[in-house]
Amino acid sequence: MSSQRSASYRGLAPSSVRASAAARGASRKTQTKCELLLRASIRAHGLRFRVNVINLPGRPDIVFPKARVAVFCDGDFWHGKNWAGRRKRLERGANPQYWLAKICGNMKRDRRHTRGLEELGWTVLRFWESQIISSPDKVASAIIQALPAQHRPLDKPLV
């Protein structure tokens, strides 16, 4: 695994201290709505998992250790969903240099963590927040399909 430096935000500033604090406060790191919905759906299928495993690259949101499957629930804004359109909107908005650097840095970090996990022999699954919220059972089914057969539930049908 390569050791790359994270993006530097030196010289870039949020639009205001208040806006920065509000953004940080509104951006939960764990126990997000999409995570809770997805975990409930996975649990309903009778699967057990660990959450926010700190000794793995990227601290995956949901982990199936024996199956070596790591799941990330990526926020649409912070992780750059529909990046081309979002980038254009951010370029026209307040403090574009800061936001473009921040989200680009997040996307690079996501790719680095995915590579790191894959190099360690893990299967990495990433799902968008909006995708999970709109259909947690469908996402849970996709996760179950990605598990090796010996780690899948036997008694509950997939959606």
Looking up tokens 């927040």, which residue turns up? Answer: 129
Torsion (CA) 43, 112, 27, 40 in degrees, nearest 10:
0
Per the DSSP assignment, residues forming a β-bridge with 73 are 127
Cα–Cα distances (Å) from 155 to 9, 47, 77, 135, 141, in that order, read: 50, 11, 37, 21, 14
pLDDT: is 152 or 127 the higher one? 127
Burial class (CB in 10 A: 0-12, 13-18, 19+), 38: buried
Going by pLDDT thresholds of 50, 70 and 90, the confidence category of residue 1 is very low
Q: Would you say 115 and 61 are in contact if contact means Cβ atoms under 8 Å apart? A: no
pTM over 0.75, yes/no: yes
- Residue 15 pLDDT: 61
- Structural domains of the chain in order of their starting residue, each with its CATH number: 28-151 (3.40.960.10)
pLDDT: is 158 or 58 the higher one? 58
